[in-house]
């Protein structure tokens, strides 16, 4: 009997702990995001948030609708598999609203050398030149048609 009384204070401690546990469980129910666990141990809504990001690049299929003439030329030359936006930059805004968003023409002085300046790390068969020597101060598109740059496919200007 007295042993029971003498342990009374322990019961109080246990009560405090229990209260804490109950509060914790209640907090969890209230605060945990509802979509948590929908697909796995993470917030399901995150997928929606991430996919809602706006596009910067339209993708090569988007250009064909209006620019099939250029694509016709390109498909016959060395740049057949170079996508439009690879040189022209991200153009989803233009594809969305072709009339009002006019793309800026790429700066030829910088554009071509990024791929074609010679570097021993580039694969051997890849066309690369020492730009200064090759161009003698002229812009690349003085002689090369950018959409079909090789001379044998009729790309010479």
Partner 1 sequence: MEGFMYPNEVELQWSVLIVLYPFLTGLVAGAFILASLERVFRVEAVKPTYRLALLTALAFLIVAPLPLQLHLGHPERSLEMYLTPHRASAMAMFGFVYLWYLMAVLLLEIWLDYRRDIVLMAQSSTGPKRQLYRLLTLGSYNISPGALHVDDRAGWVITLVGIPSAFLLHGYVGFIFGSVKANPWWSTPMMPVVFLFSAMVSGIALVLLMYMVTSLIRRTAIDMNCLDTIAKYLFYTFVIDFSLEMLDLIHRIYEADESFRSLDFMVHTRLFVSQIVLQIFVGTLTPLVLLALTQFVKFSELVRKRIYALAAILTMIGIFAMRWNVVIGGQLFSKSFLGYTSYKVAFVTKEGLLPAIILLILPFVILYALIKILPPWQAGDAATVQADGID
Partner 2 sequence: MILNRRQILLLLPAAAVAWDFLVAGTPEEAPSYKMSDHWWGMLLDITKCIGCGSCVRACAMENDVPDGYFRTWVERYHVVDWHIENPLVDSPGGGEEGFPPNSETGGKNFFVPKLCNHCVDSPCTQVCPVGATFHTPDGVVLVDYNYCLGCRYCIQACPYGCRFFHPNRHTAEKCTLCYHRITKGLTTACCEACPTGARQLADLKNPNDPIHAFLKNHTVQVLKPHLATGAKVFYNGLDGSVR
Write out the two tokens for 152: 């044998």
Binding window for partner 1 (CB under 8 A); candidates: 21-29, 107-115, 119-127, 147-155: 21-29
For 154, left (φ over 0), alpha (ψ -120 to 50), or beta?
A: left
39 binds partner 1 (CB under 8 A): no
CB 103 within 8 A of CB 91: yes
* Interaction residues for partner 2, span 20-59 (CB under 8 A): 33, 36, 39-43, 46-59
151 binds partner 2 (CB under 8 A): no
Buried b (16+ CB within 10 A) or exposed e, 91-130: bbebbeeeeeeeeeeeeeeebbbeebeeeeeeeeeeebee
114 binds partner 1 (CB under 8 A): no
The entry of partner 2, partner 1, none that residue 59 binds, CB within 5 to 8 Å by partner kind: partner 2
Binding residues for partner 1, rule: CB under 8 A, are 2-3, 5-10, 12-13, 16-17, 20, 24, 27-28, 31-33, 36, 41
């Amino acid at each position: 009997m007295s042993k029971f009384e003498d342990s009374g204070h322990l019961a109080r401690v246990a009560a405090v702990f229990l209260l804490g546990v109950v509060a914790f469980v209640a907090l969890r129910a209230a605060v945990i995001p509802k979509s948590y666990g929908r697909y796995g141990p993470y917030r399901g809504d995150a997928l929606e948030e991430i996919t809602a990001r706006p596009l910067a690049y339209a993708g090569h299929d988007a250009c064909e609708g209006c620019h099939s003439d250029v694509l016709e030329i390109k498909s016959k030359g060395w740049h057949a598999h170079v996508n439009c936006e690879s040189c022209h930059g991200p153009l989803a805004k233009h594809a969305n609203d072709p009339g009002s968003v006019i793309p800026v023409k790429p700066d030829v002085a910088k554009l071509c050398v990024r791929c074609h300046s010679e570097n021993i790390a580039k694969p051997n068969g890849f066309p690369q030149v020492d730009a200064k020597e090759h161009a003698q101060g002229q812009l690349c598109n003085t002689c090369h048609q950018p959409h079909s740059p090789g001379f044998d496919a009729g790309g010479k200007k």
